[in-house]
Amino acid sequence: MLTLLIPTKNHGIYLEHLLANVVFGPGSPVTNLLIFNDGSTDNTAEILSKYANDKRVRIMGGTSSIGVMLAYQQMYPLIETPYMTTIATDDLFYPEAMARLLEATVRNDACMGFGKYQILEDGNLSDLQHPGWHGRNFKRSCDFEALMSYDHYVFLGIYKTDALPQYGLTRFPYDLSLNRLAAADGLGEFRAQDWSLALDMAIAHPDRICFVDEYCGVFRKVANQLSSDAIYVHTGRAVYEMALLILRHLSNYELRQRIKSEPHFHVSVKNLFYAKFGAVTEEAKNSHNFQQIYKPIILAADTILNNM
């Protein structure tokens, strides 16, 4: 019923617990696991070898690192179940809550289902109160508007496999053209692929999105992760990626009108965009990446927001 995709690299410290107590823990709805070892040099291969004969598990990858998106490209065509989800090795989900999320997604014939999530940082667990979870209730079927206005709020989304976007000849659900645009700064892949996917789903299936008001998972914040403030937010990469999404979606007249027609969302999108810009350090604003790569795109997005 549900396939879980995991790309993993040097996260053996988390992997054994994740597989034994979460993915295959009591009450877990996961029936199939596709896991890609992206060139790990720790004990990942040893941990995965314990599942070599488990018919629920398919282990891929090995000694070479190809990156998260290419790992997903290897795994995605092998999905045979009607529903799928993904998780990073350092994150968690609550098996029984995830089962209830899957049941609600199926019962409501939803194309995307999601619940709330918590934050784990320095051993402290806190309940996230994401404004988007409330903002999406502003009116019926407004997840697109809310996702543009309040940032990405879908964590551990469960997706109906045949309802996912299909990009390129491989019909991959993630738009890899965003990776090519982001790669100009030399800082790696487009980080907001999950946000982009959620936006695509909200546009394509506005009446078939299911939200469960329950904490279903845990996002672990660690200092060296690619989405950390120092690497992602303060450098300008975060506002740059939002600018790319604004240009991608709000260049479309119909989608732009959906934001414009509701001052609530129009103001919120601008506030989020300017908050991301405000978090960029002065040093970063004077960098080559910001001046030559980010700034033209940011200014173009700003023009759209102020001329709707």
**84 beta partners:** 3, 159
The tens-digit pLDDT sequence of the chain (308 residues) is 999 999 999 999 999 999 999 999 999 999 999 999 999 999 999 999 999 999 999 999 988 999 999 999 999 999 999 999 999 999 999 999 999 999 999 999 999 999 999 999 999 999 999 999 999 999 999 999 999 999 999 998 999 999 999 999 889 999 999 999 998 999 889 999 999 999 999 999 999 999 999 999 999 987 666 667 778 999 999 999 999 999 999 999 999 999 999 999 999 999 999 999 999 999 999 999 999 999 999 999 999 999 98
Three-state SS annotation for 103-170? HHHHHCCCCEEEEEEEEEECCEEEECCCHHHHHCCCCCCCHHHHHHHHCCCCEEEEEEHHHCCCECCC
Angle at 264 between CA 259 and CA 267, to 5 degrees: 75
Q: List, in sequence order, the alpha helices (H) in 226-281.
A: 237-250, 253-260, 263-278
* Residue 52 to residue 226: CA distance in whole angstroms: 30
φ and ψ of 106, to 5 deg: -70, -45
* Residue 48 to residue 12: CA distance in whole angstroms: 9
Amino acid 307: pLDDT: 93
Select 1-90's CATH number: 3.90.1150.10, 1.10.540.10, 3.40.50.300, 3.90.550.10: 3.90.550.10
Amino acid 299: pLDDT: 98
Burial 116-151 (b: 16+ CB within 10 A, else e): bbbebeeeeeeeeebebbebbeeeeebbbbbbbbbb
Ordered by start, the domain boundaries in the chain are 1-90, 237-307
Q: 106: Cβ–Cβ under 8 A, 6 or more apart, which residues?
A: 1, 83
Q: What is the DSSP string of 45-113?
A: HHHHHTTTT-TTEEEEEESS---HHHHHHHHGGG--SSEEEE--TT-EE-HHHHHHHHHHHHHTT-SEE
3-state secondary structure of 301: helix
* Residue 43 to residue 147: CA distance in whole angstroms: 38
Amino acid 230: pLDDT: 78
Amino acid 112: pLDDT: 98
Contact 40, 67 (CB under 8 A): no
List the structure tokens of 268: 């919120």
* Residue 222 to residue 241: CA distance in whole angstroms: 21
Amino acid 169: pLDDT: 87
Nearest to 157 by CA among 222, 127, 202, 126: 202
φ and ψ of 284, to 5 deg: -65, -35
Amino acid 227: pLDDT: 66
Residues counted in the chain:
308
